[in-house]
Amino acid sequence: MTTTLLLIRHGQTDWNAAGRWQGQIDIPLNDTGRGQVQALARRLAGWPVRVIYSSDLLRAAETAAILGRSFGLKPVYKPALRERNSGIFQGMLFEEVQAHYPEQYQQLLENGDAPPGGESAQEVSWRVAPVYEQVASRHRGQAVIMVGHGGALRILLAHIFGRRPAEARQFILRYNGGLTIVELNETGPHLALLDDVSHLEVEVTSNE
């Protein structure tokens, strides 16, 4: 019996396009982002999805709602799936963070440390991992969509595959509207697809 998790990064926002760090600031999708999600919904048409879980931050919630209309499902919103709280980095351009907080930024990348006023990778793992464990147990043998954010989804993937939260950046999620598929069966988790955007014409946006 195989459980299929379709992990989806939310569509683009204006802050993604500008290269601005969002964290837990609640930014809506832009028109490009809505188009990305609609393209993904067309791609997934016909999948036997039974449930959609999502972060409750607006950019993820909108993504889940668009997908939900396609499948005739009402998303279940989970605050525990929110993006990492990035503290004082939130609202800043990536270039500004690197210029003004080079040591803290490097520690975040290398060790998963918390930015000033924010969460560490370990703290994010402590909240996203129980959601995954609950979903995997409750929906065995089903196809499940989980909508989230680049940073939090990387940390979730690290948990699923037995890596330390600080190693999450090994799972590169560049694209808004990207699709990652994890298959769970008796032999363990298998990464079937990572950050695939064959349904899109894309530009890379590395911020969460």
> d(Cα 189, Cα 4) in Å, to the nearest integer?
10
Structure tokens at 43: 């791609």
The active-site residue out of 10, 62, 119, 159 is: 10
Kindly calculate the radius of gyration of the chain based on its CA atoms and give it in whole angstroms.
16
Burial code (b: 16+ CB inside 10 Å, e: under 16) for 173-190 equals bebbbbbbbbbbeeeebe
How far, in Å, are 7, 138, 161 from residue 188 at the CA level?
17, 16, 9
Q: How many CA atoms lie within 13 A of 200 on its CB side?
A: 24
**Residue 149 a catalytic site member:** no
**Residue 83 a catalytic site member:** yes
The active-site residue out of 62, 83, 119, 208 is: 83
Q: Which residues are catalytic?
A: 10, 83
